[in-house]
Structure 1
Amino acid sequence: MTSEAQLIRRITLKLIPFLVVLYLIAYIDRSAVGFAKLHMGADVGIGDAAYGLGAGLFFIGYFLFEVPSNLMLERFGARRWFARILITWGLITMAMALIQGPYSFYALRFLLGVAEAGFFPGVLYYLTKWYPIRHRGKIMGLFVLSQPIAMVVTGPLSGALLGLDGMAGLHGWQWLFIMIGAPAVLLAWPTLRFLPDSPAKVSWLSEDEKRWLADELRKDERDYAQTRHGNPLQALKDRRVLLLALYYLPVTLSIYGLGLWLPTILKQFGGSDLTTGFLSSVPYLFGIIGLLIVPRSSDRLNDRYGHLAVLYALGATAMALSAWLSVPVLQLAALSLVAFSLFSITALFWTLPGRFFVGASAAAGIALINSVGNLGGYLGPFGIGALKEYTGQMSSGLYFLALVLVFGLFLTAVVYQRLERRQARTDMTDSAQHGRI
């Protein structure tokens, strides 16, 4: 058999680039609405509060259907279920070109969340079938790269598509929705054709390699005392799942709150739509740098919580500075540090659920954690929109996000005390009992 490093590299080359492309398309689809808002609001009568509500309704649909979607993934297999998700979310994104006012905007954003529900947590669960725990920090970092890369691409792409205003009698924001929805539909067939359901079903792993990987995953299950419920729905009331869901809330609230309003923030600097698009890419370049550095450092030092605490503190400080500073260059620098922190937090956080759960319990638990955490995708955009409308200042929303990240720092200590130290005590007790036997 090849060495462990060579095997992991081969699996990564076979899976991760394709999964990154799929999630790249998903993230562009959900995020481009921030650029469409620059002109769509005036064309169809959608104000700041209505936009914040509609942008957030995506995550309500996501929340309601995420656990069922992940259980369907376990039943039907990754390639068929991901292909279904791609087709439905692509068609609904394209249908957003037909928006006539707030209510059609609300309905389609909600349906988009329903259609896409389960894709991100589905991939996270899917990856637990391919990688032992010790490799997951770097792998999660590589997959989460999709998010900042999407935002780097979304800005210039959206600015260019908005420039098609008037072509074939359509507004620029309508072209934006049509052109970003089509790739999802087109990628459904390659997903169905080339994405394997599990290591057991691929020809590019030898029988010895498949056996080694299965043994390593069983060893993780034993060494980390991972939970496998008789009924996977029992994971939904596991206290560890609920605590991790609460812990995920601050980062999603901040990422989506900032991301969906970033074009509006940067538009205040002056400049064209295309300039705003390019400027919006800058913070996400720093997000990419963070994902290439921080997860590897976390794996190398075998430290999750220390890294998470530093990142939450850095993110909270930078978010507050972005609200306080008035010089555009300095404000953009602060927002870049925010992006560095938030995307790194996301990658490190998603190494935690697989520490405690395995099998269908992991599928249900990851889905619930992501669905509850993604309520932040509703609260963030809506909260910033409401605060901006009430105070007349964008800075009020950014100060709100800074407080949210301080709460995340507090939760880091709580999760470590309640989960990791308790698990360590349990493992020591079990070892002592086995020693007496």
Structure 2
Amino acid sequence: MKDSRFSRAEFLGLTSLLAGSTLLPGRSHAAPDGGTPSLRTTKSPGLVGVPAANANAAAPKPGPPSPEEMAQLHRACIASLPVTSTSDDGAEYVRIGEWMQRQKLSSDTYGNGDFVQAFEKKIADLLGFEDACFMPTGTMAQLIALRIYADASNVRTVGVHPSSHHVLHEDDAYSVLHQLRTVNLGPWTRPLLAEDVARSPDTLGSVSVELPVRWLGGQLQTWEQLQELKRTCRDKKVKLHMDGARLWESQPFYGRSYADICKGFDSVYVSFYKMIGGIGGAMLVGSRDFIKESRVWRHRHGGNLFHLAPLVASAAMRFDAALAAIPGYVKRAKSLTALIAADSRVTVLPQPVQTNMFHVFLRGSPQAYAKQRDRIAREDRVWVAWGFGQTRVPGVVSTELQVSEGLQNISDADAAKAFLRLLEAA
């Protein structure tokens, strides 16, 4: 039998794209919005259900588990390598209300209220900006930033990384709603750099940079590269916006304050459901005048909800503890990836890991690995992956892992051992 093992060098030689599976229509098992899959929003890969009974037909072959069976299997696990979210939505809303009562907080009206505005100021101060505006979604926040820059400069071209959320996961909202045009800067294989902006043949009104790059397993520019990117945009008078959906997880890599990381950006968006664990919501930060205009655009987008306080409370009651836990998660991710990558049949990207997120590449089929995942869940009570996406390399699949509180009941060695049992399906 041919040896199926392969080295990282061999894998990198096979492809220069290490592409996320969402680029292959109809073959993705990622969340529809490109975010981390959760029990609230995502069916497991290949869940088509068991065919309905038919008295005149032969007994159906056993099929994949139903969504409810999948949820039950996951809930029975004591640990999870990928990020998960709670499925007890009713209890979550009760916790939010009880927390607000203990804090003696009152709600807002269209975002106007002491509690909401105090949280906006907290995030603005933390990131080193004059002001902030809470937004129902990150998509809304980022579209507003790019629209403001386009109107101010009369240049509707936005420079982005090829894997940008704007390009892959927003149904062309930048173009349809705001008549913006994106220009891919740099290759898929690395984060966006200053040289990509400098060499752009197109005049750019703004550049949107994701920190870290999700589809590269959480890769980041070095500190020197990041500072050069800021200087280049400033010298070329190009507005620099940060897609900071996972900015919180980047701080340990740079070893600097959030304000220092954000300094030099004209605006930053951060998420409150990714890593923080809130039920939704985002924040857009920038100068006082920029945020004043952003509030007008939030209204135009239909984002002026009558009460924003429940969304804000869901983030605020978790925020400090979530940020305090991140350095420990990153430390564990380094240990876990070293254990997993020690098996020559597995490739981890990036290596060494830079945040608490990473991608793992395996030879085989998504269906076989999904079946083995369920077996591991039943036997070891460890949830080792959500989905397995086909990459652009024939016979190679990928999955995304992110160390979080889901691993608090298991050691790194046992987590790696459970994950590597997937190879029994190869």
Which has more helix, going by share of residues?
1
TM-score by length of 2: 0.24
Q: Relative CO higher for 1 or 2, CA cutoff 8 Å, sep ≥ 6? A: 1
TM-score by length of 1: 0.24
